[in-house]
Amino acid sequence: MTESQQSSGPVRIGVIGAGSVSDMYLSSLSAYPDVDVQIVTDRHPDRAAAQAGKYGIARHGVPEEALDDPDIEVILNLTPPAAHTAVSLAAISRSKHVYSEKPLSADVDGGRAILAAAAANSVVIGSAPDITLGSEFQSALRLVADGGIGDIVFARCEAVLAGPEIWHPRPQFLYAPGGGPLFDIGPYYLTALVAALGPITDVVGRGTRKSLERTIGSGPLSGQTFPVEVPSLTTAILGFASGITAQLLLTFDSASHRGGQMEIFGTTATLRTPDPNGVSLASALLDAGSTQWQEFPIGDVPVVIGPGVVNFARHLRGVEPLVVDGRRALHVLDVMAAIATSSHDEGRVVTIESTFPPSPVLPAGWSPTEARL
């Protein structure tokens, strides 16, 4: 099924993966008329049945039922990261488009394999995070694109967080290979940076661990200790193709939970966007020579999971440019892997091989709840 063969009307979606992340998607997608979730599947059929019943979806079953259904146009891949590559490749082999939860793959080679297979089968790949589709992010990105803060000279992103073991009942995977703040929350902050500033060409990274073990603070395993196998604090200097430099700080080592932010410094003003991984909605502008931040009006599209699936669906129907491009997701994955490599190799400069086309900025008033198909 290629883009040119798509019918009109809502895009028909089959979900694979009925874990906790599916709640975030299914609770939003029901409000978006341009997508039609027809089936929820999981390798544990009871989980699929529970989620389908919870959100009023008529069909449920095992993944093959979504993969082999000729009416399903898009597979929404909500499986754990370790399964992303296999599930996406299975969908592509059946000529279905794929929208994946972040990250695109558990490793760069897997991400490259997904995009290569998609090109060979004439299907489209989209991927979370879609945080930049919130109203305030789009307003901020339009301001940057229109020269509203002058020439960009520097940017920084940070997430200063207390460890998730405080609240997560099973946090061990967040401190195991493939975890840590770099791979857990890094996709949000790096996606926000490259959406605003374009592709990254090189990185220098450093990582540290506050301690070699942590203690689970809630749930049935409360009081148990577990090993910290990856850096719990990562810093990086990012070089962009545009010549801009940016700074990244991601940590689970803070004594208090301060949240995150992104700031872009221009020659005429400094822009502060919403937290790329939070519920803060307001952007703010600090004009040159001023000490008073001016907040943007709050818009209609909150920072939630789901609008990216709508953008993906509308792109397949040919009515909207693709923001949540799989090529951008691969680039973010490539950057994270390069930061990890640099951190393990005494902070040497690592060149980024991948790139992606500029992320489109959607027009003012864009909304996922307004039917366009």
DSSP for 134-193 reads: SHHHHHHHHHHHTTTT-SEEEEEEEEE---GGGT-SS-GGGGSTT-HHHHHTHHHHHHHH
> Contact 329/84 with Cβ under 8 angstroms?
no
Provide the CATH number for the domain around residue 7: 3.40.50.720
Do 209 and 277 lie in one domain? The reply is yes
Residue 112 and residue 148 in one domain:
no
Same domain, 114 and 172: no
- Within this chain, do residues 205 and 116 fall inside the same structural domain, yes or no? no
Shared-domain flag, residues 173 and 296? yes
Q: Taking residues 185-208, what's their average pLDDT?
A: 96
| CA distance linking residue 279 with residue 99, whole number of Å | 23
Specify the CATH number for the domain of residue 282: 3.30.360.10
Bridge partners for 207 per DSSP: 234
pLDDT at 131 exceeding the cut of 80 = yes
Report pTM.
Answer: 0.93
- pLDDT tens for 93-109 read 999 999 999 999 999 99
Per-residue CA distances from 252 to 197, 230, 246, 258, 276 (Å):
26, 11, 20, 11, 16
User: Are residues 116 and 11 part of one domain?
Assistant: yes
Q: Which residue has the tokens 């389908």?
A: 52
- Read off φ and ψ for residue 21, nearest 5 degrees: -65, -25
The pLDDT > 70 percentage for the chain reads 96
pLDDT of residue 136: 83
Task: Confirm whether 323 is domain-assigned.
Answer: no
- Dump pLDDT digits (tens) for 197-251: 999 999 999 999 999 999 999 999 999 999 999 999 999 999 999 999 999 999 9
Which pLDDT score, from 0 to 100, does residue 257 have? Answer: 84
Three-class secondary structure of residue 290 per DSSP = coil
Number of domains present in the structure of the chain: 2
Q: Rg for the chain (alpha carbons), in Å?
A: 20
Q: Are residues 111 and 220 in the same domain?
A: no
Name the domain boundary from 100, 127, 154.
127
Query: What is residue 288's predicted lDDT score, i.e. its pLDDT?
Result: 93
273 and 336 housed in the same domain: yes
Q: Residue 234's domain spans which residues?
A: 133-300+330-351
Are residue 17 and residue 106 in the same domain, yes or no? yes
Which residue would you say has higher pLDDT here, 355 or 274? 355
Shared domain check, 293 and 193: yes
Which of 287, 285, 352, 328 lies closest to 192 in space, CA to CA?
A: 328
| Assigned domain for 310 exists | no
210 and 280 in one domain? Answer: yes
Give mean pLDDT, residues 317-344.
97
Evaluate whether residue 311 is within a structural domain: no
On whether both 92 and 142 belong to a single domain, the answer is no
